[in-house]
Structure 1
Amino acid sequence: YLDELRLAVAWNRVDIASSKLFCGDIQWEPSQLEDPMRDALLGDRPALVRLFVENGLDLDEFLTWGRLSELYRGVPEASLLHQLLERRQGGAEPPHYQPRTRNPWTDLFIWALLLNRGEMATYCWEMVRKALGGRLLGCGELRGDPSGCGGEGETPGGTGWGSVFGECYGNSESRASQLLVRRSRLWGGATCLQLAWLAEARCFFAHDGVQALLTQNWWGEMERSTPVWKLLLTFFCPPLIFTHLITFRSVWLWRWRRFWGAPVTAFLGNVVMYLLFLLLFSYVLLLDFAPPPPDGPSASEALLYIWVFTLLCEELRQGCFTGHQPLAQRVRAYLQDPWNEFDLTALGLFLLGAVCRMFPRSYASGRTVLCLDFMVFTLRLIHIFAVNKQLGPKMIIVGKMMKDVFLFLFFLAVWLVAYGVTTEGLLHPSDQRLAWIFRRVFYRPYLQIFGQIPLNEIDGAGRGSPLEAEPCTNTYANWLVLVLLVIFLLVANILLLNLLIAMFSYTFAKVQGNSDTYWKSQRYSLILEYHNRPLIWGWTWPPHLGPAGPCLLFTCLPSHPRPRPRTPGSPARDLSPEQDTQLLTWEAVQKENHLLALGRQKRDSNTERLRRTSQK
């Protein structure tokens, strides 16, 4: 019988094994199933693995360190995982993996994920106790596999994590919220929200339960229906916190702490202070940009330098002192955000311009750099729109369209250079002025697209110069230039511009349906950013009294922040062992209910009924 079982494993005939070998007539010892189990795992036979487990094989006894090492040694040599394992071991010994003996199904689940075996990983996930976190981890690993978690992850309410969390949320909203923000020791202290963010599980963030939690955390202990004007009025007049202008859900005595600790207050404070910063910046550039030392800089410009220094301190805090990972990982994660790169660019340009303006020779260059830097700082305001439900999704669409713009500019540049060089060679063959040549090759054809054809009326650099200083236009091939102008305008204005409009329309139609889902997933990162802002910003004095002091204070003490009040909506919470056990038990019950419902639905489907009828 053991030889027949090995043949059934080799041929992947689970029907023969279940009907002939596991029908109750043969008494199998668990030790007899260990070698077939190993072959089934290596051969990717999830149905046979399930059959062996259901008939007495104990995975706790089977999955020793040696067997798991053998499973990893069975990785195909052409796979990326095999190369990474060899690189890790340095060729000194066979690749192996030391499992956590208390979680054998988790180790097997990770092994299946690394081998991109979706069906095997799904079965292992069913046996893992921490269902939601493992499923989200699987979505990140199997994102490109339509048969695994990645395919299911894009379907809200399907057979993956969406319906599992939906089962939990329908049973108890409070426990489901705790499940999202609970730190899991098994997954390195990460929460389900963090795993979902790493896995890019956008549909998970689009779930009503997740959005309700994020909204609760965004408003803190204040009522969600609080108008923005009340928040702004209280922001500039803090004693109003102790009136009935704003409704709180907690005790009266904690209103000051709850108001300044809410992410929405930190966001509005950041917006107000940033607008004041831009106002000061523009005033310095336009009205109070003093000459180089010893005459300057002025008092307003010195205040601007102090303000920018506080912004730099905040960026250093976000990049170096936020999180519990090693410094290199924190910096790498910080640089992955395009808006952080935008901030560093703006601060770097400001530093360059401030240094140049201090010396007489580079004073004008410094002013020019600061003027360009003001544009970069102003464009940073676009990030504020991310919090708005109407404008946030439009930002996603604009970001996708930027790729179409760059593709359009490539085609336009090729056609523009071809036309510009040709016409310049035909009209001005004797002109040797390099600056004018570049103007007429690039600048003139670009303006001709918009109807600005007479060059002497639009080129500001040529105004005021005598006409006789201009080289005579070559009239020999003037007719050919006119023909080329007609063709250039025809291709640029009709073909390329309509191509760009068609690309925009396609991108808009493609992204519009999913833009809301994209925005809801990015909303998590925005709320997390302002939730991690130190509370000392509001505990010392109201932020409108001075931006420098609070920022400098919490930057100098990055390792000793004030504890933030842990509300149920906090992004991360540490539960006691008793609470953690109760929550995981409740999660396991909800997962079993979900799997039973799926099995019942499958049995009642018309396809399954036809299959059973055909077999009979």
Structure 2
Amino acid sequence: MDEALLSDDPEAVQKELDGGLQLSEYLNRGTLQHLYNKAFEDATPKQREAYVFNNLVDRCLDQGKYEGHTVLHVLGEVISQDLIQDYEIPNIYDDDNADRPLGFHDLLLWAIATGRVRLSRLFWNLGSDQIVSGLVASMMFKFAAEHLPNDIYHADQRSDLFKLSKEYQELAFFVIKECYRLDKKETSDVLVRQRRDWVHIAPLDAVDMAEDMEVMSHAACQFTLNNIWTGRMASHTPTWKLVAATICPPVLFFLEYVEEEDPAHEHEHELSLWDKVKFYFTAPVTKFMHSVVSHVLLILIFSYMVLFELRPLSKRPVGWAEGLMVFWIAVLGLEEIREMVDKRVLIQTWISNVWNFLDVIIVGLFQISFVVRLCMDRDFEKQNFQIIRILYCLTLIFLCVRIIPMFYLSKNMGPKIVMIRKMVGDVVFFLSVLVVVAVCYGVTRLALTAPKNEFSPGILGKVFLIPYWQLHEQMLDLEEGEGPDLPWYVDFLEAGYMLLVAVMLVELQVGLFEYTIERVQERSETYWSYYRYDMIQEYQDRPLGPGPFLLFGLLWKQWELFTGIPTSSPFRRTFSGKVETKLCELERKAVSNVQMKLEKGVYKLRGSAEHSSPEAGVKLGSLRARMSSMEGEMEAIKSLLQDYSKK
């Protein structure tokens, strides 16, 4: 079996399995460790360069990390931390869980890490949990491609790895598609069922880890997200009813709720009033609406405070609005800390999210401003109070910007936010080129028109301001040496600058904006479907309570943690024996259908040579026949030349 595995021979491996080899008896941590070591030892230098995961393991060992742990443990850390940086998953090969039984998914990881491409497909077929397996395989191939040297010598290898990544992503997508075709309701459960072999992650988690917009936008994933979004309320509940319940809470008793299926009971019991209250207030959509209302109220009160209350302490004490803002924003700061601790991610990873970073700025800037305001002495306060006002106004600006991600949940406005984000990159490109051109023109123009200037900070302003205002075709205040009597070559310089910047660069920027808008608009629903996942998950995990009342929700969360009250997440669920068996059968049937449809050509893997079209096969056969004919003719010519040379 070892020889068949190391030689990347799926036929030989299948023959061993058909011959009665029990994988549970053959495969253990020692065997798997031996396979990794042997594969790396037998690899050529070129192959070792492509073994990205092995290279990362060696780097960790050389740096002294994970001292005292096995190589498998280090590999598990690489997979859980380097492969999936922004997501918390346990180490699949943790030494503390060394007695975990191994299976085909472990051989799949081995095959991918050691470049056994043919075996990876075999183990994907033989294993279970093909959705998660396919998405993890897709991530690993993509990760390996991105960590190869980006040069011409590795271009083909990188391209092949990206194709393999796409292939396994499509395999997972086809399985989800087949499950949804067979049973919509059970597919929703399949997507959130925790997989023990994959450290209890669910397929929907894996889709998010892989950052796969195509899979996330499929109807099966969106159907599941809709169910999570409305909680135990009916997913078809109109928005106006939810808004009415937010404004007038008694309306919640007239909303439609769904009873969770319980296989142990044949009949559903009627929900109590308390059940309706609990289901309404714990639904992510309710938390979102309360959050929107409270954030708008926060902006209004903050604006009132800045406009009418903010005065030096010597003239007016801290008002009610400012006191409320201190408490409210402090609660928001506690919520950010709770979110970071619950996700158990590194601070730099958490801060890498632009909205988390903005939250930190809002909380930090306001609290620092308030503390400085209290610590000011009266003389300093009279002279520099405008600084405090500026800091408070900056906080207000950031608070207004912070409401933008809430638009992601709107199918119409969400893609527009994506457009704005992508256009920021276009603006950075434009400004980079503009700075180069403006400095070149500004320095040259100033040197030609005012050669006797002495150095001063104002000179630097002229270098940038004159080109900037000319870009907007604004008239400048003419100074000495500037005006109609400028030398002719300065006029030509200005004309060239206006032609280059005001015409070419501006038109280029407009074209880039149009291209970005068209590109996002074509996939607007895909972008909306993908970004709403993070928003739904955020509000699912968010404590109860709008505005400053969020403090009570935070205290309840801590009480649950302290007392060990079990909590469950609709994104990761466990099912009873019969239900789980039924879901496994559905997934196995879907995998069987996918394999059958791949063989028949109903499903085609893009970029995969083994699934080329029949027309391509006919053309290839014709080409081979012609090559064979030419080869025969060449042999005949060769023999004639030999006979001629003998004569």
- Normalising TM by the smaller chain, what interval? 0.7 to 0.9
The alpha-carbon deviation at position 336 of structure 1 amounts to 3.7
Per the alignment, residue 241 of structure 2 pairs with 230
Q: How does 1:214-363 map to 2 (within 5 A)?
A: 214-242=225-253, 244=254, 246-250=255-259, 251-253=271-273, 254-292=275-313, 295-320=316-341, 322-323=342-343, 327=344, 329=345, 331=347, 333-358=349-374, 359-360=376-377, 361=380, 362-363=384-385
The alpha-carbon deviation at position 231 of structure 1 amounts to 2.4
Per the alignment, residue 84 of structure 1 pairs with 56
The alpha-carbon deviation at position 488 of structure 1 amounts to 1.4
CA distance in 2, matches of 1:68, 1:225: 50
CA distance in 2, matches of 1:178, 1:93: 37
The alpha-carbon deviation at position 88 of structure 1 amounts to 4.9
Query: Helix, strand or coil: the match of 2:223?
Result: helix
CA distance in 1, matches of 2:283, 2:339: 18
The alpha-carbon deviation at position 309 of structure 1 amounts to 0.8
Match for residue 188 of structure 1 among 199, 211, 225: 199
The alpha-carbon deviation at position 514 of structure 1 amounts to 3.2
Pick which of 114-123 and 280-289 moved more: 114-123
Q: How does 1:35-46 map to 2 (within 5 A)?
A: 38-46=2-10
The alpha-carbon deviation at position 248 of structure 1 amounts to 2.9
CA contact (8 A) 2:439 2:464 kept: yes
Unpaired segments ≥5 residues, structure 1: 1-33, 457-469, 538-542
Per the alignment, residue 471 of structure 2 pairs with 449
CA contact (8 A) 1:431 1:471 kept: no
CA distance in 2, matches of 1:226, 1:573: 24
Pick which of 605-614 and 136-145 moved more: 605-614
Within the alignment, does 1:71 sit opposite 2:35 as a pair? yes
Deviations 1:200-237 (A, max 9, x none): 12211111111011112112233444443432332232
Deviations 1:16-69 (A, max 9, x none): xxxxxxxxxxxxxxxxxx3xxx33432333344345444555444443444422
Pick which of 117-126 and 127-136 moved more: 117-126
Per the alignment, residue 559 of structure 1 pairs with 561
CA distance in 2, matches of 1:475, 1:613: 77
Query: Helix, strand or coil: the match of 2:543?
Result: coil
- Counterpart of 2:190, as a letter, is L
Per the alignment, residue 438 of structure 1 pairs with 460
Per the alignment, residue 498 of structure 2 pairs with 489
CA distance in 1, matches of 2:232, 2:538: 18
Q: How does 1:104-123 map to 2 (within 5 A)?
A: 104-123=103-122
Pick which of 44-53 and 69-78 moved more: 44-53
Q: Structure 1 residues 181, 276: CA separation in 2 closer, same or farther (over 3 Å shift)?
A: same
TM-score normalised to structure 1 length = 0.79
The alpha-carbon deviation at position 150 of structure 1 amounts to 1.8
What is the alpha-carbon root mean square deviation over aligned residues? 3.5
Match for residue 550 of structure 1 among 552, 573, 594: 552
- Counterpart of 1:287, as a letter, is F
The alpha-carbon deviation at position 518 of structure 1 amounts to 2.8
Per the alignment, residue 606 of structure 2 pairs with none
Pick which of 367-376 and 273-282 moved more: 367-376
CA distance in 2, matches of 1:611, 1:490: 53
Per the alignment, residue 150 of structure 1 pairs with 165
The alpha-carbon deviation at position 238 of structure 1 amounts to 1.5
CA contact (8 A) 2:8 2:117 kept: no
Per the alignment, residue 27 of structure 1 pairs with none
- Counterpart of 1:231, as a letter, is L
The alpha-carbon deviation at position 72 of structure 1 amounts to 1.0
CA contact (8 A) 1:140 1:200 kept: no
Per the alignment, residue 462 of structure 1 pairs with none
Per the alignment, residue 20 of structure 1 pairs with none
TM-score normalised to structure 2 length = 0.76
Deviations 1:521-578 (A, max 9, x none): 221111111111224x2xxxxx47x5465356347647259979979xx212122355
Deviations 1:417-451 (A, max 9, x none): 11122223333444547343233221232121111
CA distance in 1, matches of 2:217, 2:70: 44
CA contact (8 A) 1:427 1:474 kept: no
- Counterpart of 1:334, as a letter, is W
Query: Helix, strand or coil: the match of 2:403?
Result: helix
Q: Structure 1 residues 94, 563: CA separation in 2 closer, same or farther (over 3 Å shift)?
A: closer
Deviations 1:228-257 (A, max 9, x none): 343233223222323x3x333342522211
Q: Structure 1 residues 102, 472: CA separation in 2 closer, same or farther (over 3 Å shift)?
A: closer
Within the alignment, does 1:588 sit opposite 2:575 as a pair? no
CA distance in 2, matches of 1:604, 1:411: 45
Q: Structure 1 residues 422, 106: CA separation in 2 closer, same or farther (over 3 Å shift)?
A: same
Deviations 1:64-119 (A, max 9, x none): 44442232112244333333333455599995577867333121111122235443
Q: Structure 1 residues 247, 548: CA separation in 2 closer, same or farther (over 3 Å shift)?
A: closer
Within the alignment, does 1:498 sit opposite 2:519 as a pair? no
CA contact (8 A) 2:136 2:206 kept: yes
Count of residue pairs brought into register by the alignment: 547
CA contact (8 A) 2:178 2:590 kept: yes
Q: Structure 1 residues 597, 367: CA separation in 2 closer, same or farther (over 3 Å shift)?
A: same
- Counterpart of 1:182, as a letter, is R
The alpha-carbon deviation at position 372 of structure 1 amounts to 1.7
CA distance in 2, matches of 1:332, 1:263: 27
Per the alignment, residue 377 of structure 1 pairs with 399
Q: Structure 1 residues 447, 609: CA separation in 2 closer, same or farther (over 3 Å shift)?
A: closer
Q: Structure 1 residues 196, 604: CA separation in 2 closer, same or farther (over 3 Å shift)?
A: closer
Q: Structure 1 residues 342, 549: CA separation in 2 closer, same or farther (over 3 Å shift)?
A: closer
Q: Structure 1 residues 101, 472: CA separation in 2 closer, same or farther (over 3 Å shift)?
A: closer
